[in-house]
Each structure stands twice: as C-alpha cells, then as structure tokens.
Amino acid sequence: MESWVGLKRSTNIPDKSNCVVHITNLPVTIDYGTLFSALRGTGKICRATIAGSEAFVQFWSLDGVTRLLEKRRHGLFIIGTQIPNVNISSTGGERARKTTLHSRVLVINGPSEIVNYEYLRKYFSDRFKYSIESVEITDVQRDRQTMRWSFASFNTQSRKAWTLLGEEKKKAYETGDTNSPWKDVWFSYESDPCQPYQAIVPLPRRAPPPPIHPLPHVGQLYHESHPPLPSSVSWGHDSGMCNEDEEENKSKSIDWSLDQNVSSTSSNGDSDQPYRTATHTTSLPSQTPPCTRELFHSRRHSC
C-alpha cells in the first residue's frame, strides 16, 4: 500500500496549493471504513494511508482540504470519542488533479462465478496490494451480480483493478473462447461517497407553448361575411318576364340573404320574425325588379 511516512516535502508546492492533509490523534483501532466514514461530505479523495494513529489523505482538489479544515475548526470532525488534528502535510505534497470521472470506487458487473467477493479478493491480492473501505453487492439477477469496490486509493488500486479487468476481457475476445465468462464482465468508475452533495440546479424554463383556442360554447354565434345580394343580371331574366313561380323562388332567396346581413340586437328573438329586432333599415339594391320590390315591402309591412 502507499505511504507518505518518511517522504520529503516538495519545495515547489506551497501550503495553499497542497491537497494532502496529515491527520493525527486518531484512535489506535482506526480502519479505512471508519476513516472514510468520518470524511463524508468533505470532497473527492484520491488516496488515503493509515499509519498507526495517524493518516495521510490526498484530496482530488483543494475544496476537500478547505471543507475538512472547516469541519475540524467547528468541532465536527470526530472519530469515536476523539477529535483528530488536521494540518497541511509537511512530509508529502500533491497539487490538485484535473476533474475526471475516475475515482477510487469501481463497480463490477458480470457472471456470479467471477463477480463475487472470494474470487475477486484472491484475483486482486495475487496481482497488487490494496486496502478496502468497503465491498458491497448492489444487485443480483439470476446468474449475474453487481458489486461496488471502494478502494483506499485511485492511483495504484482502483485504476490497477480497472486495467486488469480490461486485460482479461480483451484476452477472452482475442482467443475466441466463447465459453469464457470474462466476455460478459462490465466495469466502470462511480462517484466517491466522500464527495459533498451537489446542489440541484433547476433546468431553465422553456418558452410557453402557443395558446390553444378553446372550442366555441354551445350557442355561441359567429359573424360571417356573405356575398352581396344577386342582381337581376345574374338571374338571367328580364324584369318584365318573371312569372309567379320564379318570383316566389327569387323572393325566398332575397329574404334569406337579407336575414344573414341584417344585424340583430338580441340572439333570443323570435325565429319566425327575424326583422323585428333589426337596429337599422336595409334598402334593396337599385337593380331589384319592381315586382320583387313590391313583394318585399308588402311582406315587411305585414309583419
């Protein structure tokens, strides 16, 4: 495992740029699970090393250092019954790392014959040294299983595990072994549980949709424009050649046109007497035949 004990501090990294903290006055029985649990909400951690009753923790950025120092200043950094001391490390220093999706936490999914604690523990132990915060089974589906391995370090632990799993999967494809369970193994990094909770930023409001015009109510009236009354020329008859049947048909057509053009002051008027509610008089066109004009006036006065 990694250790900062005995290392000399680089003179090129000032305290304000150093992401490594030295934690002392820890319980003698301290373990990685307890240490990381106390560091929840401070920041993403790149690596941590416990040496007796002290520890060195490298944060991914300076924000983690600031939050931990504030937590200690307010007396909120407590492990067991002890309040540890936190200072910028003087035996080793590291600058902030670039923001990436890599982390010390690895999620592995695949056939249960490979993705299980006993198999992976031996597989990793035979190839590199590592320390574990926790190992969890997050999902089980028939003959497949998903596990979350939270290592103590990214540099030489979770990244090493990622590389080894990738090599095994690649080898299974290159050899053409269709029965190899490694072909069905999938893995990815996951967020560090020590990262602070991110504020939920609301999405920008979209432009309101165009208004939808409602359907007309029952009985709602619409005012429509109608063509002018037809002239005698359009009928194709001379004013003196109209017989009684043709005159009656023309009269009905004119009455219907007038009924559509004359405005009414009330929608509840008698349907049999549409002209009684007219607000103004309407004169016939100058080209109306005399016989039709007389018939119109006689019907109007009879109402």
Report pLDDT digits (tens) over 257-290. Answer: 444 444 444 444 444 444 444 444 556 666 666 6
Long-range contacts of 4-9 (CB under 8 A, 24+ apart): 4/49, 4/56, 4/89, 4/91, 4/92, 5/49, 5/51, 5/56, 5/91, 6/91, 7/91, 7/92, 8/91, 9/89, 9/90, 9/91, 9/92, 9/93
pLDDT at 113 over 80: yes
> For residue 1, what pLDDT is reported?
45
The strand order across the sheet containing 45-51 reads 45-51, 54-59, 20-24, 85-88
First to last CA, the chain: 111
User: What percent of the chain lies above the pLDDT cut of 90?
Assistant: 54
The gap from C-alpha 51 to its chain's centroid, in whole angstroms, comes to: 44
Question: What pLDDT sits at residue 282?
Answer: 54
For the chain, which domains are there? 15-88 (3.30.70.330), 105-190 (3.30.70.330), 229-252+285-303 (no CATH)
Please give the mean pLDDT across all residues of the chain: 77
Locate tokens 């990436």: which residue?
100
Whether 208 has a pLDDT exceeding 80, the answer reads no
pLDDT of 29 higher than 90? yes
Average pLDDT on 185-213 reads: 72
Res. 43 pLDDT band, cuts 50 70 90? very high
Buried b (16+ CB within 10 A) or exposed e, 205-215: eeeeeeeeeee
199, pLDDT greater than 50: no
Angle at 65 between CA 62 and CA 68, to 5 degrees: 150
**pLDDT confidence tier of residue 116, bands split at 50, 70 and 90:** very high
pLDDT class for 14, splitting at 50, 70, 90?
confident
Least confident of 3-7, 127-131, 173-177: 3-7
